[in-house]
Amino acid sequence: MSSTAGQVIKCKGKPLVIEEVEVAPPEAGEVRLKILYTSLCHTDVYFWEAKGQTPLFPRIFGHEAGGIVESVGEGVTHLKPGDHALPVFTGECGECAHCKSEESNMCDLLRINTDRGVMIHDSQTRFSIKGQPIYHFVGTSTFSEYTVVHAGCVAKVNPAAPLDKICVLSCGICTGLENPGLDIVRNNNVSLGATVNVAKPKPGSSVAIFGLGAVGLAAAEGARISGASRIIGVDLVSSRFEEAKKFGVNEFVNPKDHDKPVQQVIAEMTNGGVDRAVECTGSIQAMVSAFECVHDGWGVAVLVGVPNKDDAFKTHPVNFLNERTLKGTFYGNYKPRTDLPSVVEKYMNGELELEKFITHTVPFSEINKAFDYMLKGESIRCIIRMGE
């Protein structure tokens, strides 16, 4: 492809700039996508600011998007030109032990690698400007009108589904939504218990959600649909509380309003602790608080947020001996190619409401506005219309 518009990040923390970039054809096992809609996730902002990671610039960010397959490389059989698809930052090769297991979605070949800026096939980039390479981001780089992605990281979806809505499923909403315990369809069968559902709150139970960004709100929505009666939102920004009510949050705690640890506050509110807690911030202190605020004997805490690479989790071992459970999850335990089409159908059937996650829409030429909305805490998800 001779050229396409891409939002290239040349330096950390600086505004994105539009450049004409060369996008090479897909190699074996790859797909070239025409991106129609992309949205801004906080992960893009985090790596743009280069907080706690090894900077890699110039780079095209973006990883939450929807588009159409433009061409496929050798050996790609599950996709063809014209298919509607969602690129995903993690993948499903279908051959490794993780892909063959019903208990894992952490593909050996295609799981997320934030430091890799090249394609797996040949360790080269598919983007360039006048022969100079432009690096990829988490294998997707959706802030470009055309991008090249490993075929195992592309899920074919119902062409009737609106890409400007379902694009948010390719990252944050799925990551949060499944954690509280929604059953999903895998190979046309309801998947078994903890193989996919992590926290699994019971009807009438109590759930604390740490962080009320898009992932946390999705976790709250899942808790609501699961029948939790008390959904406690925990966030340092009180202005988020009103919006969170739309997602089932019915009580709020701002740790800054108390002179004691927030886990103690929650334990006092709930007669010993909540039944489930889901941490969606990446803050190591929030992770500790989420674990320590669940009830002894049966409480389960699930960690979703990605911490700084130098962080360490510290809690007293007695918290485990008292039969609290700590779990982690990755992309809501979804296998992208296998499971995402079913999630899209849930939206099409009216079982999932995606519109309430979308707070802003901007044209591609004004993508820096999306960053402003996110940095000011005004946006849950901002959809970016490509080609405008």
Active site positions, annotated: 41-43, 63-64, 93, 96, 99, 107, 111, 171, 381
CA–CA dist 115, 123 (Å, integer): 13
φ, ψ dihedrals at 350, nearest 5°: 85, 10
DSSP 334: -
Q: Give the tokens for residue 160.
A: 């009737």
Asked whether the CA dihedral 271, 273, 277, 283 is positive or negative, the reply is positive
Residue (of 98, 274, 103) closest to 194 by Cα position: 103
Q: Give the tokens for residue 162.
A: 């609106």
Tracing tokens 């649909």 back to the chain, one arrives at: 225
CA–CA dist 31, 44 (Å, integer): 22
Contact 43, 63 (CB under 8 A): yes
φ, ψ dihedrals at 163, nearest 5°: -65, -25
The single-letter code of the amino acid at 368 is N
Task: Measure the N-to-C terminal CA separation of the chain; round to a whole number of Å.
Answer: 19
CA–CA dist 141, 133 (Å, integer): 14
φ, ψ dihedrals at 218, nearest 5°: -65, -40
Helix (H, G, I), strand (E, B) or coil at 354: coil
Contact 277, 302 (CB under 8 A): yes
CA–CA dist 34, 85 (Å, integer): 10
Contact 69, 151 (CB under 8 A): no
Q: Cite the beta strand spans of the chain per DSSP E.
A: 4-9, 17-23, 30-39, 59-60, 64-72, 84-87, 127-129, 132-134, 146-150, 154-156, 185-186, 189-190, 206-210, 230-234, 251-253, 276-279, 300-303, 325-328, 358-363, 381-385
